[in-house]
Amino acid sequence: MLYPMARKTANDDVLAPVTLAVGQEDLLLDRAVHEVVAAARASDADTDVRDLAPEQLQPGTLAELTSPSLFAERKVVVVRNAQDLSADTVKDVKAYLSAPAEEITLVLLHAGGVKGKALLDAARKAGAREIACPKMTKPADRLAFVRQEFRATGRSATPEACQALVDAIGSDLRELASAVTQLVADVEGTIDEAVVGRYYTGRAEASSFTVADRAVEGRAAEALEALRWSLATGVAPVMITSALAQGVRAIGKLSSARGGRPADLARELGMPPWKIDRVRQQMRGWTPDGVAVALRAVAEADAGVKGGGDDPGYALEKAVVAIARAARSRGR
């Protein structure tokens, strides 16, 4: 698994007393946490992990969590959205930074920016190990991410294959990472553009994106036919839910965006220009309520595919029908 590169600091030890992950890219933030937790559990399998939201870290809570243990166990304390901590809790964290406890790793996730900057500055001044987790808004950044994902697996992918994957998937890093994982698991040898095309833009009858396209266009019968063929030919159900999610989100993004040329909207929304034109054609029958209904249907299908139901195929069929119905919600 690839982890974001840590900014070079005085202390670059994964189990440094304090790790500071800064940015708004959820996948990279989660990986920063996972890296620390994995290293801690490799050192001590009984490591206690506390993962806290700002409202769970009240004044005095950090002192309780970091007080010496009778069994001297290793502990990882993760504080998410640290920029939202209360002023009194920030005082506690600053005090802790000046004298961190042994066998305890504090991981602060901070969005960056002005809000909560005093805590950010204090952590840096204390010599925290820092990991940059910026939102990847530029296509070039996402392309570099995909290339690094392939390198991290030890597999080769041509530049054309990486570009084709970014064009097909879009801006969601989790979905890009999932696609790389799927290709690496299924394909031997170098992954080229033809391979990506077979999975994402070629052989329409077996493409998860064809299922999504037909569904968001309101063509339920064709979407169901493509779904059944995709499942029969071995397309992973999780890839289909991912494609459905991308299709519905693209409708929602474009419907709420300001008008403009495809190139301008592509930069604003993180989609290739050709996709802007396609989504404009697909969104004609949609309403905001329809998008909300479709997103719920995708979430339910995702839960069913990932173990929440007995029949992934049935969960996907329900979602496809619900999306196609939502696509015709305007004028009903």
Averaged confidence pLDDT in the chain: 85
pLDDT, tens digit, 9 for 90 and up, residues 136-190: 888 888 899 999 999 999 999 999 889 888 877 777 888 889 889 989 988 889 9
pLDDT value of position 9: 46
Lowest mean pLDDT: which of 42-46, 122-126, 193-197? 193-197
What is the pLDDT averaged over residues 56-61? 92
What is the predicted pLDDT for the residue at 261? 64
Distance between CA atoms of residues 269 and 255, nearest Å: 11
Q: State the average pLDDT over residues 210-228.
A: 90
pLDDT in tens, 63-120: 999 887 656 678 999 999 999 999 999 999 999 999 999 889 999 999 998 999 999 9
Write out pLDDT tens, residues 196-215. Answer: 877 775 443 346 878 898 99
Among the listed residues 258, 244, 255, 233, the one whose alpha carbon sits nearest the alpha carbon of residue 320: 244
The model's pTM is 0.59
Give pLDDT, residue 309: 64
Query: Which DSSP category does 103 fall into?
Result: T
Listed residue (79, 78, 87, 77) closest to 115, CA to CA: 87
Identify the pLDDT of residue 151. Answer: 94
Return d(Cα 114, Cα 282) in angstroms, integer. 39
Domain boundaries, the chain: 18-133, 139-200, 208-327
**What pLDDT is recorded for position 89?**
95
Cα–Cα nearest to 208, from 168, 174, 244, 173: 244
**More confident of the two residues 93 and 236:** 93
Amino acid at 216: V
